[in-house]
Every structure is written in structure tokens, then in C-alpha cells.
Amino acid sequence: MSGRALQADLVPVLIGRLKQESVLRGRPLEGLAITRSTWGKDNPRAIVEFTVSLAGISRAGNAPSSQKGKP
């Protein structure tokens, strides 16, 4: 999953809440990348861009990778 935030300190809060969702509960965090950037042409704003990967979640879809190939 990747996204952008105006407040960097809220990214861990978002990740914590997402990990409480039933499909993600109990899955360890595989990777987290956070970079600072700007967004907007007329009035650029400082933002953070983040990418989170969790163990057992496929990159192409929302289903756990153990379900890959199953109907």
C-alpha cells in the first residue's frame, strides 16, 4: 500500500489502524519507506509519501498470497 500524508506523525497511526483490520491482523510488517516531498504547482505543500508492505499480502491484490491461484 502506498499513499501521501500532510502530517508525517499520522502515518504510524494509520498503519496501526490498518493492522487491526481482520485481513491484516497478525501479519508482520515487511517494509516501510517514507520520503519527504512537495505537492502542488501553484501553492506547493510539504508532504510525506509512504509505502507499506505486509507479510503474506500480494502486491497485485488485496487477498493474502496464500489464496493466490485459488478461485
Q: What is the pLDDT of residues 36-69, one digit of tens each?
A: 988 888 888 999 999 988 776 665 554 444 444 4
The DSSP-derived string for 24-36 is: TTTPPEEEEEEEE
Q: What is the pLDDT of residue 57?
A: 64
Per-residue model confidence as pLDDT tens digits over 2-40: 999 999 899 989 888 888 888 878 888 888 899 998 888
According to DSSP, residue 5 is labeled E
Amino acid code (one letter) for 69: G
